[in-house]
Structure 1
Amino acid sequence: MSRLRVGLLANPTAAQGTAHRIGRQVDHLLRLAGISVVDLSGPSAAVARARAEDIRDSLTALVVVGGDGTVSLGAEIVAGSPVRLGVVPVGSGNDFARSLGLAVNDPESSTRALLHALSRPVVSVDAIEITAAGHSGPGHRSLALGNLNLGFDALVNARANRARSGHTVRYTTAVLRELRAFTPLPFWMEIDGGDRIELDATVLTLCNTGMFGRGMRMVPDARIDDGVLELATVSGIGRRQLLRLFPRVFAGTHTSLSAVDIRPVEQLTIGLRHGRMLRAYADGEPRELLPLTARVLPGAVRLLAEPSGSMTADPKDSQ
């Protein structure tokens, strides 16, 4: 029997409930390969997290089956530990997987890739730590591996999550409906501990992978292992210009526009002026209300994956 012990966590609601079935398939394939598998799935994220955290230190890897939100949950469980995070992407968006070039909605290919990566050097990637402004500590933080959406993009995410149609349809519909009455949001922000600045912006995203909305390439050149995040803002345009911008974001050709600004940051504290309220979203899931602080955690998560164009492996670090 292999000395490798893998925890398996499937999101019971991802992919219209099929992730649980796919999790059983992945479990079977891993066992056929001689891997010792512990099923950590539960009726809720809280139950699954508790099960995983209870045995985390006995695991070689934690494999999550689901979408971007499930990947974030896995990252929170393994961050800062030697346990590697494997991903079987079967959610609605799968933007984290897409950014790494992983097979999507193909559990057999995903499992083969995981098994191959078990014998390869470790790949460490950055994470985004999100806390309510003025709070710190494990009880007040969440992690994201993809992006933190803070502007029009957050409002669209919230509306899309409430819809019942397919992901592509509901995201496009949410964009059109939010545009009807949208006006730029009055942000204040402090970047890397600097002076407070004010900015009226439409889109404002703190990026690690730079991809969200089922393939929108907000920061096409983003790397997830360089120790910095990218703050992408779109400002100074109206509704019509914003609508025309979105097709260019999918192609990644929008970055040359004067309305678009992308800058590297390590920490961002951000809120809204005039008493406005807004909830941030990260990796498709609701997070803190603004104001909040987000910072990069360099190399916080060890992935069970082959290096892609957005990451490199450390040849001296292997299981």
Structure 2
Amino acid sequence: MKIGIVLNPASGRRGRRLFWSALRRALEARSADISLRETKGFGDAERHGRELAEDGCDLVLAVGGDGTVGEVAGGILRSHRPGAVFSFIPTGTGCDFARNFKIPREPARIAEHLVTAPVRSVDAGLLTCETEDGLTCTRHFINIASFGVSGEIVRAVNEARRGRKLPGRMVFFYHSLREILRYKPLSIRLRLDGEDVYDGPVTAVAIANGAWFGGGMKVAPEADVADGVFDVVIIKGAARLKVLTLMNSIYSGRHVKSPLVSTRRARLVEVWPAGEPASIDSDGEAPGHIPARFEVLPGAVNLLV
């Protein structure tokens, strides 16, 4: 079995050498031929994922956080072999996509899982937006894309990566509190499957393939990664105190009962700013801002999980 591994070396540093030594031995004991590539910056994971898929790997494995996972999946989808089998080992700050599945954590069990687990088709998203330079950016996402205060939170988390010692959930919680206190709701126009559904200020809008983002926030409790549609969660603009109170219930998914929150399902999401553009979060990265288009790609990823 030829396994191509894309590793983010800045992710999950504690015990990484011992972990990789044990995992490599376990994989090689199962006759795996390993090709390892490490990332150095934004975009590397997508490029490595594409190249490994085109090199004929039986499995392309992402090791890192949600950003690495999303980029590698996107690289495979952009390759000449978009049906190449994909899997991942979560080691990042958020690791929210992994919450949708039961995944082993011990090296020996991971190795066994990678050679015996079934492959299933799951959905992906295709995002088109504007970059900070005013250019058009197109990228895939596999978990959740969002905009509003969530985009500002992701920027703050990513800028604080170097030297942090807190667990991922606490990092996201701290920056969520700080950015909510700073954020002023921005007005948008939202269209779902060709129908205008909202025009006004928002705190955040999540276009969800998976259920979790933000280090364990269950923003879209009913989301299914293989149902062919996005769960779109609209958190309306509100006073900071109300948003902070709502945040207390988002980890359990109870926020969807709030009058500030509405949920819809759609295959195509389009959004335009009615003033200052809101920042976008895509699988824990910050590719740009609205206006934007989010399109579901049903069953696009062959996921071993």
Normalised by the shorter chain, which TM-score bucket?
0.7 to 0.9
Partner deviation per Cα, 1:198-224 (whole Å, 9 max, x = no partner): 121112111110201111111111100
- Kept in 1, the 8 Å contact 2:211–2:219? The answer is yes
**Equivalent residue for 2:76?**
78
Tell me, yes or no, if structure 1 residue 9 matches structure 2 residue 10.
no
Assess, with a 3 A threshold, how the Cα gap between structure 1 residues 196 and 256 changes in structure 2: closer, same or farther: closer
Tell me, yes or no, if structure 1 residue 227 matches structure 2 residue 228.
yes
Assess, with a 3 A threshold, how the Cα gap between structure 1 residues 159 and 102 changes in structure 2: closer, same or farther: same
What SS does structure 1 have at the residue aligned with 2:145?
strand
What SS does structure 2 have at the residue aligned with 1:40?
strand
The amino acid that maps onto 2:294 is: A
Assess, with a 3 A threshold, how the Cα gap between structure 1 residues 279 and 24 changes in structure 2: closer, same or farther: farther
| More displaced 10-residue stretch of structure 1: 225-234 or 50-59 | 50-59
Assess, with a 3 A threshold, how the Cα gap between structure 1 residues 13 and 31 changes in structure 2: closer, same or farther: same
Aligned counterpart in structure 1 of residue 24 of structure 2, from 23, 27, 35: 27
The amino acid that maps onto 1:15 is: G
Assess, with a 3 A threshold, how the Cα gap between structure 1 residues 21 and 11 changes in structure 2: closer, same or farther: farther
What SS does structure 2 have at the residue aligned with 1:263?
strand
Partners of 1:131 and 1:270 in 2: CA distance? 11
Partner deviation per Cα, 1:15-42 (whole Å, 9 max, x = no partner): 2476576445433321111122222334
**Equivalent residue for 2:240?**
239
Partner deviation per Cα, 1:87-141 (whole Å, 9 max, x = no partner): 111111111111213245x444333322221xx3x201001101127xxxxx942
Assess, with a 3 A threshold, how the Cα gap between structure 1 residues 43 and 242 changes in structure 2: closer, same or farther: closer
The amino acid that maps onto 2:300 is: A
Partners of 1:25 and 1:73 in 2: CA distance? 26
Partners of 1:263 and 1:40 in 2: CA distance? 40
**Equivalent residue for 2:296?**
296
Partners of 2:273 and 2:191 in 1: CA distance? 12
Assess, with a 3 A threshold, how the Cα gap between structure 1 residues 181 and 203 changes in structure 2: closer, same or farther: same
Unpaired runs of at least 5, structure 2: 131-135
State the 1:11 CA deviation.
0.8
**Equivalent residue for 1:316?**
none
What SS does structure 2 have at the residue aligned with 1:290?
strand
Partners of 2:84 and 2:258 in 1: CA distance? 42
**Equivalent residue for 2:133?**
none
Assess, with a 3 A threshold, how the Cα gap between structure 1 residues 71 and 265 changes in structure 2: closer, same or farther: same
Assess, with a 3 A threshold, how the Cα gap between structure 1 residues 40 and 90 changes in structure 2: closer, same or farther: same
- Kept in 2, the 8 Å contact 1:188–1:199? The answer is yes
The amino acid that maps onto 2:72 is: G
Partners of 1:20 and 1:11 in 2: CA distance? 13
The amino acid that maps onto 1:76 is: G
TM-score (norm 1): 0.83
Equivalent residue runs for 1:83-122 within 5 Å: 83-103=84-104, 106-117=106-117, 120=118, 122=119
Unpaired runs of at least 5, structure 1: 134-138, 306-319
**Equivalent residue for 1:40?**
37
The amino acid that maps onto 2:298 is: P
Partners of 1:46 and 1:236 in 2: CA distance? 33
Assess, with a 3 A threshold, how the Cα gap between structure 1 residues 281 and 47 changes in structure 2: closer, same or farther: closer
Partner deviation per Cα, 1:150-189 (whole Å, 9 max, x = no partner): 0122212222222235233332221222232322210112
**Equivalent residue for 1:206?**
207
- Kept in 2, the 8 Å contact 1:227–1:299? The answer is yes
What SS does structure 2 have at the residue aligned with 1:255?
helix
What SS does structure 2 have at the residue aligned with 1:245?
helix
| More displaced 10-residue stretch of structure 1: 236-245 or 279-288 | 236-245
The amino acid that maps onto 1:67 is: G
- Kept in 2, the 8 Å contact 1:204–1:233? The answer is yes
User: Aligned residue pairs: how many?
Assistant: 292
The amino acid that maps onto 1:190 is: R
Assess, with a 3 A threshold, how the Cα gap between structure 1 residues 21 and 85 changes in structure 2: closer, same or farther: farther
The RMSD of aligned alpha carbons is 2.3
Partners of 1:19 and 1:70 in 2: CA distance? 16
The amino acid that maps onto 1:284 is: G
Partner deviation per Cα, 1:229-266 (whole Å, 9 max, x = no partner): 01101115321121111121111122222211110011
